[in-house]
Structures are given as C-alpha cells and as structure tokens.
Amino acid sequence: MPSARRVAVLGGVRIPFCRNNTAYHDVGNLGMSIKALGALVEKFGLHGETLGEVAMGAVLKHSSDWNIGREAALSSGLSPQTPGITMQRACGTSLDTVITVANKIALGQIEAGIGGGSDTTSDVPIAVNKRLRRRLLDANMARTFGQRLRAFKGFSFRELKPEFPGVGEPRTGKSMGEHCEMMAKEWKISREAQDQLAYESHTKAAQAYERGFYSDLVVPFRGVERDNILRPDTTLEKLATLKPAFDRTSGQGTLTAGNSTPLTDGASAALLASEEWAAAHGLEVQAYLVDAQVAAVDFVHGEGLLMAPCWAVAQLLKRNNLTLQDFDFYEIHEAFAAQVLCTLKAWEDPEFCRNKLGLEAPLGSIDRARLNVVGSSLALGHPFAATGARIVATAAKLLKEKGSGRALISICTAGGMGVAAILER
C-alpha cells in the first residue's frame, strides 16, 4: 500500500442557503446538488473532466433519490465516466464526504474528487401508513383478483393518514433542540450568552458579505444572491424578545428561534486533489486537509446528545500532537448557540476533561476572536448535509487569505456523533 499523500483543498462553492418553504420549495435535493456541482465545475474549468469520485449526501431524501452523487455528477458537466456515491451522517454528512474523498486521494486510489451535500426540509419524503403499505405490497404480490381484494379486507380510512419524517431521536423521542436545552441547563449556559453568539454570527456574516468574502463561494440561484436567513439588522434587543422554542412550560427555557438554526434548504460542494493533479491543472492549493476524527457518545444514558465533538477534537489533537490553542481559525458548527457554548465550556472544565476525555489537564479556552470569523450556521442556515462542505470551503479560503496557519473544524450531529477535522496551509 502506498504511503499517504498530502490532500489539497482547492476550494468550494454553494448556492445561497434559504429558509425552508421559500425560494427552493420545489427544487429538491437532486436539483440543488446539480446546481452546486455544476457551479463548481464552472468555477474550476472541469467540463468533461473525469474525476476519481463525487461523494454527495442528503439526510432527508426520497427513495427515488437512490444515488444523488452519481445522478448529480451526470448532470454537472463532468465526464460521465466520473463515479458517484451518496452518504449520510446527519449534520456531519458533507464533512464525511470530503473526508472520504480525501482518504482516497491520500492513499493514491484517485487523484481528485468532490465532496458535498444537499438537504431540503421543504420537499420531505412522506410515507404511507405502515398498515396500508403492507396491504399495497400484498396486493402487488397477489396472483388473482380475489387475493388482491383480500389484501384490503378490514381497510380503514385512518390508514390513509400519511407519515412525515420524525424530528425526534428514535431512542429518546426528544428533538435535537430539546436535547440541547437539557445541555444548556446542565452546563448553565445563559440565554444572554446564546443571544450574544447569535448576534455575533449575523454581524460577522453580514460584514463578510460586504467585504466580498463570499463572492466566489456563493453562486446565485432562483433569484437569490445571499442566504435569506441572514439578518444584518438584528440586535440583541430583538433577539431578547423571542420566546423559548423547545422548553415552553418550565419558565427556564433558553433556546429560541433566534439562537437556534432554522430549517434550511441548500447544497454545497468542495474540490480536493493531489498536489500533482492541482499543478497539472493550474489550480492553486488553498489549504491541506491534514486529518479528521469521528466520535460518538451514549446520549441515551446521560451524555449530552451534541457533545460528541468534545471527544472527536480531543482525539484528533492527541494524534497530531497539537493543543487546542494551536489554531488560527475555529469553525464550530452553530447548530444551536448553546451547543457551541457547552462545547467551549466543557473543554475548559478540568473534571470533564479528566473523567470524560481521559486527559490530565483541560484542553483550555480558545481565542473567541478566531471563532467563526465570517459567521456560521446561525446566520447562514443549516441544510443538514450541506454544512460540512460549506465549512471546509470557508476554512480553506480563510487560510488562503491569511497565507498560512491552521483551522479546526468541529460539527455535532444527530445520533450523538461528532466530526472534526484539521486544515492547514
């Protein structure tokens, strides 16, 4: 087996992220994926190019979207000889697709590939009732008219009620927001601190748009030029007026629609390659994907559902002989402001780091001025499977602008998992 090669991040692109049931309500995952991939092909002049892999993902998808990665690749302008695969790890999906492509490049299996993802909560899969589904399947297998009739014996009109995707964790019945509300209470994260983080996210994202940071990262689609969740005029006073969104009865709820990400539609993609391939195609290396780590926690028996990035980052730092302070940029996905603040507080806590992470000393604090410096999910939105590739492209461009340095990526996911990665230039 060949030794690992350096994996170059050449850049990325995405469509504007939009609140669900607005601009992209009728597009669907495949349509958004095709637009994002096509824009990436256009940006890097890849028309007719055969890449080693296109790895895409989606969390909420129809059964007819059987392989979005391949179908989107076929409509993107790439050579039809480019293979495609579809993956899923909830909110970490497109960071995982990037990691998958990077690992193949590192091992010399491919020279270049694309990782990305899309998600829509406007066009969710709606299933028929389980009992009705069984009847339809039995009727389809029937050989005679009588057998088909018997399949519907005892039919009730209640069976026509459709089944929508659940928003709760199957093992607890609680939504991510409800779980994060529990985390906020456990770590004593105040409403004011959450609103402050949300305000900063909107402010920094608006400033980044104004200075042109997103001009080559976001391509117009459906008449939208920038994320329609972004509120440049938001204030702490406006955020303070919002009512709790998940704990509405105890009087102690702190998570609101303002300090939590809204349901979002969108797609993103990032191009990775070997240094040799990049040089041969005249493309600049923005950064290198150095390493990545996935971790999981037992949220059913007491750990916070969205705390797994604490473990992923700790393991990643140890393997690379780095400290938490050895970074110029921290891109921590803002699923909820409380999740980010719980993570930061846990890294500073000696008891947590000793008893949970097995460390002799706490990881410590970070320079908050380096955190999500061009805004993040609270301001830009969070199409589940598109967030990872958005963050990779953002971190790579930040490192390119600086000319050197290191970036840490951390993403929490449903199911009690976390994904972390290191980029450097």
Neighbours of 166 (CB within 10 A): 9
Distance CA 335, CA 5 (A): 33
Contact between residue 63 and residue 113 where contact means Cβ atoms under 8 Å apart: no
Q: Which long-range CB contacts under 8 A does 105-110 form with residues at least 24 apart?
A: 105/5, 105/7, 105/52, 105/272, 105/273, 105/274, 106/4, 106/5, 106/6, 106/7, 107/1, 107/2, 107/4, 107/5, 108/2, 108/5, 109/52, 110/51, 110/52, 110/53
Active site members: 91, 382, 412
DSSP character string of 366-404: --GGGBSTT--HHHH-B-GGGHHHHHHHHHHHHHHHHSS
Distance CA 263, CA 377 (A): 11
Kindly state the helix (H) or strand (E) to which residue 288 belongs, with its residue range.
Answer: strand 287-296
Strands 53-57 and 264-274 turn out to be unpaired
Q: Which amino acid is at 133?
A: R
Residue found under tokens 């007491």: 302
Torsion of CA 334, 335, 338, 344, to 10 degrees: -50
Distance CA 394, CA 413 (A): 19
Instruction: Using alpha carbons, select from 266, 306, 260 the residue that is nearest to residue 121.
Output: 266
Cα 350 versus chain centre, distance: 29
| 100 Cβ contact partners less than 8 Å away, ≥ 6 residues apart | 53, 55, 85, 87, 115
Q: Which DSSP letter does residue 359 get?
A: -
Tokens (6 digits) for 366: 């970070």
Instruction: Using alpha carbons, select from 123, 136, 39, 91 the residue that is nearest to residue 333.
Output: 91
